[in-house]
Structure 1
Amino acid sequence: MSQSRQETWTVRRILDWTRGYLERKGDEHPRLSAEWLISDVTGLSRVQIYMNFDKPLTPSELDAMHDAVVRRGRGEPLQYVTGEMPFRHIVLHCERGVLIPRPETEVLVDAALEGVDAASLTFPAILGDVPAPVEDESEEEASPQSDQHGETDAASDGQPAEPAEPTEPAAPAAPPVLVEPGCRVLEIGTGTGCIALSIASERPGTRVVATDLSPQAVALATRNRDALGLEHAVSVVDGDLAAAVDPELMGTFSVLVSNPPYIPSAVVPTLPQEVIGYEPGLALDGGEDGLDVFRRILELAPRALAPGGMLCCELFEDNVETAAELVRAQGGWASAEVREDLTHRPRVLVAVREG
């Protein structure tokens, strides 16, 4: 591409060249990667790319495309190259050092929303306008936990998850209508904030405390929260587990949700280079059996959840059943079940407290 910079590079030509280049570099989805990069550089949607084949790239677009293709050719995840990732109904900023959201985690959000909906039946809220921002009682140095984990569709078959199709950035949602009383959710290990922000945006009135051990993740989740206009619905705090959460909030959460580090230590080196070469190990390695952080969350859950509250965790397909047995052995739980992810692998543990 650099040898022909003075020639006209149209959308079609750059698409064909990039696809071929990335294919030679071993990209498993070279056309999709090429489309995503072109979309990011030009601002064209995936459909618009194919409607503007003859559109020439500007010199600045060509420079940006060259840098992006080089980074992708070296194996850097697309989400880090473009700096964003669509997740459910929102678009999140992504950066190296913070786990990339996976499509499978959307199933975890679905489970958490069930807990929110069940709690809303117990604690009905009256919708209405809020004349002034409501101070979040959980911001008193609330805080909490370790990095989000993150597998990819990788831990089981050795292949990275296919990147999501590029989408045009979603317009920031209107600030949610705050209600009192509202359902409270605690997320441990928020990463980009994908889980907490999805819950808050899809269930206005829900108050979420999202924690992470990584200051970088806390900063990124906070930027994502502010970009979505969810400042008064979500508190993002820095600390281990729920150590910095306001003690008065403990025992009031209707849902405790987490995507903790859950890859067994021996499995981590077998993950694709695109994962272990770029994503934070702290968010991946769950110890010998992958359940080190989960055991700590399970110990915390009875103190954090209200009676009848729900625990939802994404885990490794080979240890999620073991996790369910740990829940049953602890006692005090009305139910514990394992749900499948989008690829029909056992992935999400859902447990409900008695009461």
Structure 2
Amino acid sequence: MADEMWTISRCLDWTRGYLEKKGDERSRYTAELLLTAVTGMSRVELYMNFDRPLDQDELSRMHDAVVRRAKGEPVQYITGSTGFRMIDVLCEPGVLIPRPETEVLVGEVLDYLDSQVLGGASTAARKRAALPWNGELDAASDLERALAESEAGDAVAAGETCEDVATAGEGERAAAPHARVLEVGCGTGCISLSLIHEREGAVTCVATDINPQAVALTERNGRALAVPEDALSVREGDLVAPIAPEEYGTFDVLVSNPPYIPHDVMAELPREVVDFEPGLALEGGADGLMVFRRLLAAAPQMLRPGGLFACELFEESLDEAAELCRGAGMDDVRVVFDLTHRPRIVVARTPL
């Protein structure tokens, strides 16, 4: 590659063809991601600079990246990051890569927090990921904003000054409710960090993981996203072991994407998952519910009355998981489907 001029366009085309022959079903997209990592450009910028030549260092790093991908290594490990809802998180070998299914899990937690903890009146002003299921909320959000503006106008018409209205607003913000979330098995920290980012100033998370590498990566991601120190506490330990006794019963949500692949299914996973991602974060025992059962047993101790227990699980385990929740005395048990319409998440509430 180094003996001739390699432009961005030529490198994209060659990489796409090469990776397609190696079995990459999304070879064009993969080529774009690798080139963005090598050049520091966005995907849009790549297409605006098709004729720009790659320098020797870029060619060398692109060569290494293509070789790694051709051997099956996940793109996220090669580029060192991935997008998740509204944020980018650092990724590295040894820590599970975030999946789109987990974005749905975050959405379920946010819906609960907005309706049951944080109050629905102010949701229109909060950040919301541009995800398929959010489009239908736009009209409602516009209506909420219009009502808020109308209320402010009515207050002024009734004799209150703009300063009075502004002062009242500051008081309401100061007294705004706050949510406390426990994430078990944080990995990259994508769940906790998304909750904090999308409900800025309204959510505090405690995130645990038995893998010290995952704990360190979550902390790095928190710093990269400029998360306030008092908004995120990351702790190393097995499931809820790092939670102090005085914290029991203080959480509004216990959320987890635990190891959930049944033992016999592990061998059927794609090579790039089995050969590169950590088995500790994948295998969930004979039926995929080994860790889930432990979390379910801990949930009543961790959660306040009416608190939410939400877990992502293997698609064929959801019915049994829901029955286990009911058998444990949980209320409002539901199974949630992912973007491919497969059962993926179980949610339940602790009794009031």
* Band the TM-score falls in, shorter-chain normalisation: 0.7 to 0.9
* Residue 200, structure 1, aligned to residue 170, structure 2: no
For 1:259-307, what per-residue CA distance to the aligned partner results, in whole angstroms no more than 9, with x for missing partners?
Answer: 0000100000110000000000001100000000000000000000001
Q: Hey, what's the Cα distance between the residues in 1 that align with 2:19 and 2:90?
A: 24
Q: Hey, what's the Cα distance between the residues in 2 that align with 1:263 and 1:213?
A: 18
Query: Is contact 1:255–1:305 with CA below 8 Å preserved after alignment?
Result: yes
Query: Is contact 1:119–1:183 with CA below 8 Å preserved after alignment?
Result: no
Q: Hey, what's the Cα distance between the residues in 2 that align with 1:189 and 1:224?
A: 15
Q: How does 1:315-326 map to 2 (within 5 A)?
A: 315-326=313-324
Which residue of 208, 214, 217 corresponds with 1:217? Answer: 214
- AA matched with 2:217: L
Q: How does 1:315-354 map to 2 (within 5 A)?
A: 315-331=313-329, 333-354=330-351
284-293 or 221-230: bigger deviation: 221-230
DSSP 3-state at the match of 2:315? coil
Give the number of equivalent residue pairs: 300
Structure 1 pair 259–63 and aligned structure 2 pair: CA distance change class (3 A): same
Q: How does 1:27-106 map to 2 (within 5 A)?
A: 27-106=24-103
With CA pairs under 8 Å and 6+ residues apart, which has the higher RCO, 1 or 2? 1
What is aligned with 2:242? Answer: 244
Which residue of 180, 187, 192 corresponds with 1:191? Answer: 187
Q: Hey, what's the Cα distance between the residues in 1 that align with 2:194 and 2:76?
A: 18
Query: Is contact 2:118–2:178 with CA below 8 Å preserved after alignment?
Result: no
What is aligned with 2:285? Answer: 287
What is the CA distance between 1:330 and its match in structure 2? 1.0
Query: Is contact 1:254–1:306 with CA below 8 Å preserved after alignment?
Result: yes
What is aligned with 1:309? Answer: 307
Q: Hey, what's the Cα distance between the residues in 2 that align with 1:50 and 1:181?
A: 45
Query: Is contact 1:211–1:236 with CA below 8 Å preserved after alignment?
Result: yes
What is aligned with 1:227? Answer: 224
* Residue 115, structure 1, aligned to residue 108, structure 2: no
What is aligned with 1:257? Answer: 255
Query: Is contact 2:119–2:177 with CA below 8 Å preserved after alignment?
Result: no
Unaligned runs of 5+ in 2: 123-172
What is the CA distance between 1:72 and its match in structure 2? 0.6
What is aligned with 2:128? Answer: none
Identity of aligned residues (%): 57
What is the CA distance between 1:181 and its match in structure 2? 5.9
45-54 or 63-72: bigger deviation: 45-54
- AA matched with 2:304: A
Unaligned runs of 5+ in 1: 126-176
Higher helix share: 2
Which residue of 168, 178, 182 corresponds with 2:178? Answer: 182
- AA matched with 2:251: F
Structure 1 pair 323–263 and aligned structure 2 pair: CA distance change class (3 A): same
Which residue of 257, 266, 269 corresponds with 1:268? Answer: 266
Q: Which runs of 4+ in 1 moved over 3 A?
A: 121-125, 177-181
Q: Hey, what's the Cα distance between the residues in 1 that align with 2:119 and 2:90?
A: 35
Query: What's the TM-score once normalised by structure 2's chain length?
Result: 0.82
Query: What's the TM-score once normalised by structure 1's chain length?
Result: 0.82
- AA matched with 1:120: V
Q: Which has the larger radius of gyration?
A: 2
- AA matched with 1:87: F
DSSP 3-state at the match of 1:104? helix
What is the CA distance between 1:120 and its match in structure 2? 2.6
Query: Is contact 1:123–1:183 with CA below 8 Å preserved after alignment?
Result: no
Query: Is contact 1:123–1:182 with CA below 8 Å preserved after alignment?
Result: no
DSSP 3-state at the match of 2:262? coil
- AA matched with 1:225: G
Q: Hey, what's the Cα distance between the residues in 1 that align with 2:121 and 2:247?
A: 19
